[in-house]
């Protein structure tokens, strides 16, 4: 079974802090994604990566950056956390050419 | 628990009844569709998928119907069980890329 893990289930940070969210997948997938999920808005794509050191902006990249130094790991970085970044963050991965994305359990981030 | 159910349309069904969850997709060029299930506190899990060259696909207790004329997708769950209680959302893929566009979801509540 594909396994996508995220470093924290719950995280509380203060406004202005730098926040790192880590995601690891164990199936050698080329593509990895970061989404945020908010009530009534569904999943919105922040960034994705189709290879090591490659990244592309999704629909809502403002306020975020990403890092993909190794194939199995995709990090989401909030350079200076703000309260409007309080959300559920979901990581996903997919093999190139496949259909479904496999999701991690999510990180509930609260910025106070 | 998770608040992903806020502001979502809700479908309430009796245990043992059949459930039908609907989704209107946006892009007539989309060629691949997925249904995901998200239980409280968990990441989305793949249920079933369908390609645009099909109009029906069956899995175990689930059936997906695709009507390309009206850009409509439905998920039918037979003999709904309490464990089916979750948020369900559809996703569409357009072209050869790996990005998915997600719907906002429907909360399914199974009443005993």
- The whole domain housing A90 covers 4-111
User: Measured at the alpha carbon of residue A47, what is the angle toward residues B37 and B36, in degrees to the nearest 5?
Assistant: 10
Q: Mind listing the pLDDT tens digit for each residue in A53-106?
A: 999 999 999 999 999 999 999 999 999 999 999 999 999 999 887 778 899 999
- The DSSP symbol for A7 reads S
The terminus-to-terminus CA distance of chain A in angstroms comes to: 37
Residues of A in contact with B46 (CB under 8 A): 100, 102
Q: Are residues B100 and A101, on separate chains, in Cβ contact within 8 Å?
A: yes
Q: What is the pLDDT of residue B41?
A: 85
Residue B95: what pLDDT? 72
Domain extents for chain B?
A: 10-111
Of A58, A98, A103, the CB nearest to B44: A103
Nearest by CB to B98, which of A31, A39, A104?
A31
A103 touching chain B per CB within 8 A: yes
CATH number at residue A81: 2.60.40.10
Cα–Cα distance, A49 to A72 (Å, whole number)? 11
Give one DSSP letter per residue of A45-85, joined into a string: EEEEESSTT--EE-S--TT-EEEEEETTEEEEEESS--GGG
Average pLDDT by stretches of 10, chain B with 112 residues: 55 96 91 94 93 95 96 96 95 82 92 90
Q: Which residues of A82-106 are buried (b: 16+ CB within 10 A; e: fewer)?
A: eeebbbbbbbbbbbeeebbbbbbeb
Query: Does the CB of A88 have a partner CB in chain B at under 8 Å?
Result: yes
Alpha-carbon distance of B107 to B87, in angstroms, equals: 4
Residue among B19, B29, B31, B26 nearest B75 (CA): B19
Structure confidence at residue B1 (pLDDT): 34
Task: Kindly list the distances between the CA atom of residue A45 and the CA atoms of B23, B56, B69, B101, B102, in Å, as whole numbers in the listed order.
Answer: 19, 28, 27, 8, 9
- Contact in structure between B98 and B36 (CB atoms under 8 Å): no
CATH code, B10-111: 2.60.40.10
What is the rounded distance in angstroms from the CA atom of residue B84 to the CA atom of residue B63? 14
**Domains of chain A: total:** 1
**What mean pLDDT is reported for chain A?**
94
pLDDT at residue B20 in the model: 97
What pLDDT was estimated at residue A98? 75
pLDDT band at A45 (very low <50, low <70, confident <90, very high): very high
Residue B5's SS3 state is coil
């Amino acid at each position: 079974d594909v396994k996508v893990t995220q470093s924290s289930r719950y995280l509380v940070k203060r406004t202005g802090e730098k926040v790192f969210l880590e995601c690891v997948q164990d199936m050698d997938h080329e593509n990895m994604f970061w989404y945020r999920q908010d009530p009534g808005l569904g999943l919105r794509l922040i960034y994705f990566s189709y290879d090591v050191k490659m990244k592309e902006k999704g629909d809502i990249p403002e306020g975020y950056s990403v890092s993909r130094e190794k194939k199995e790991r995709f990090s989401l970085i909030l350079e200076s956390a703000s309260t409007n970044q309080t959300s559920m963050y979901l990581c996903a991965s997919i093999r190139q050419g496949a259909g479904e994305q496999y999701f991690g359990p999510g990180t509930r981030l609260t910025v106070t | 628990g998770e608040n992903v159910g806020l502001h979502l349309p809700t479908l309430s069904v009796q245990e043992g009844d059949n459930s039908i969850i609907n989704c209107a997709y946006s892009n007539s060029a989309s060629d691949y569709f997925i249904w995901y299930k998200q239980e409280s506190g968990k990441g989305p899990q793949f249920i079933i998928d369908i390609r645009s060259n099909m109009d029906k696909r069956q899995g175990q207790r689930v059936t997906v119907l695709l009507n390309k004329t009206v850009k409509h997708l439905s998920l039918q769950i037979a003999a709904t069980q309490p464990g089916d209680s979750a948020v369900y959302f559809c996703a569409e893929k357009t072209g050869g890329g790996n990005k998915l566009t997600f719907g906002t979801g429907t909360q399914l509540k199974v009443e005993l």
